[in-house]
Amino acid sequence: MSKNAPIGAFDSGVGGLSILLEVRRLLPAENLIYLADSAHCPYGIKPVEEIRQRSLEVTDFLISQRVKLVVVACNSACVAGLDQVRAKFRNVPVVGVEPAIKPAHELTRNGKIGVLATNLTLNGERFSILVEKYATGVEVYTQPGPGLVEIVESGAIETPETERLLRQYLQPLLDKGIDTLVLGCTHYPFLIPVARKICGPGVTILDTGLAVAKQTARVLKLANLMTERTAPGQETFYTSGDPTAVADVVRKLWGDPQIQVKKANV
Ligand code: DGL
């Protein structure tokens, strides 16, 4: 495998960009390939078997683009199929994501943690294992957030409708007295400005972007796969959906009006 090959990442849509932005900051010389599986978005309300199958197909697409590592930048896909992806593609390192329960356990002062995630993630065995393992002695309150992924996909983030829906989901957690909020879906970090406004300064909001970027760097180093190039790396964006519509949102979230998005037949 070539050190100068790109890193691949995917999500049901643009949410995984919250992870990839951190990878870009930490590893500026790496080339990156991102696939938004927009034709099948959202993942979080679909049957586990369907998302497992998509995760395998989309990883196969990234590997056909000769990536040296795959980041499954989606909590729902990790719950549904991370083990299967690792088992099937043994020659490529695979980095997954999970809700930041462990850091939340370390940070909470009053022992009350809220987790906002998709239904698929909250109902998955991976999540119960995570809570059992790391949330000893604290209360964990969970809340699914249907509709939030679609808001991020539309790119219309700071609107009264977003605030209304997010408040509807966060208020029950705030009523429980949480002082730490875990964002267990990679789309949600794009809603942090609105969530901050709702939660106020007393609640710490956690996402996993930086931790996943650091893990990606660690895995590359261990496998001796860090790029040797020093020039800024490039990004290539693909979608299984409509490239024109997806490009509008990717440009906004990535902060680069020049971005082009290609169609992936996957
Ligand atoms: N961003 C994804 C996650 O972390 C997928 C959300 C969805 O498509 O429902 O779960």
Q: Residue 240 sits in a domain of what CATH number?
A: 3.40.50.1860
Tell me whether residue 185 is one of the annotated catalytic residues.
Answer: yes
How does residue 162 score in pLDDT terms, banded at 50, 70 and 90? very high
Q: Give the tens place of pLDDT for each residue, 177-199.
A: 999 999 999 999 999 999 999 99
pLDDT of residue 1 exceeding 90, the answer is no
What is the span of the domain harbouring residue 150? 101-207
Among candidate residues 41, 74, 78, 199, the one labeled active-site is 74
Calculate how far, in angstroms, residue 207's C-alpha sits from the geometric centre of ligand 1.
13
Same domain, 117 and 197: yes
Q: Which of 207, 225, 241 is the last residue of a domain?
A: 207
User: 118 CB less than 6 Å from ligand 1?
Assistant: yes
Same domain, 199 and 232: no
pLDDT at residue 214 in the model: 98
For 123-142, what is the mean pLDDT?
97
113 in any annotated domain: yes
pLDDT at residue 241 in the model: 98
User: 182 CB less than 6 Å from ligand 1?
Assistant: no
Give helix then strand counts, H and E, for the chain. Answer: 11, 10
Question: Are residues 233 and 20 in contact, defined by beta-carbon separation less than 8 angstroms?
Answer: no
Same domain, 201 and 240: no
128 in any annotated domain: yes
DSSP three-state, residue 154: helix
User: 74 CB less than 6 Å from ligand 1?
Assistant: yes
Q: Which atom of ligand 1 is nearest to the CA of 188?
A: 1
116 in any annotated domain: yes
Q: Give the tens place of pLDDT for each residue, 4-56.
A: 999 999 999 999 999 999 999 999 999 999 999 999 999 999 999 999 999 99
User: 143 CB less than 6 Å from ligand 1?
Assistant: no
Same domain, 186 and 106: yes
For 248-257, what is the mean pLDDT?
98
Burial class (CB in 10 A: 0-12, 13-18, 19+), 49: exposed
239 vs 26: CA distance, rounded Å: 24
pLDDT of residue 240 exceeding 90, the answer is yes
Q: Which of 179, 207, 235 is the last residue of a domain?
A: 207
Same domain, 21 and 62: yes
Q: Which of 164, 192, 207 is the last residue of a domain?
A: 207
Question: Are residues 26 and 221 in contact, defined by beta-carbon separation less than 8 angstroms?
Answer: no
Question: Are residues 85 and 54 in contact, defined by beta-carbon separation less than 8 angstroms?
Answer: no
How does residue 128 score in pLDDT terms, banded at 50, 70 and 90? very high
Calculate how far, in angstroms, residue 2's C-alpha sits from the geometric centre of ligand 1.
30
Number of domains forming the structure of the chain = 2
Same domain, 128 and 188: yes
How does residue 201 score in pLDDT terms, banded at 50, 70 and 90? very high
Give the end-to-end CA distance of the chain in Å, rounded to a whole number: 23
Q: Give the tens place of pLDDT for each residue, 89-104.
A: 999 999 999 999 999 9
User: 41 CB less than 6 Å from ligand 1?
Assistant: yes
Tell me whether residue 199 is one of the annotated catalytic residues.
Answer: no
Alpha helix positions (H), the chain: 17-26, 48-64, 75-88, 101-107, 119-123, 125-134, 148-154, 160-175, 192-199, 209-222, 243-254
Question: Are residues 181 and 66 in contact, defined by beta-carbon separation less than 8 angstroms?
Answer: no
The whole-model pTM stands at 0.97
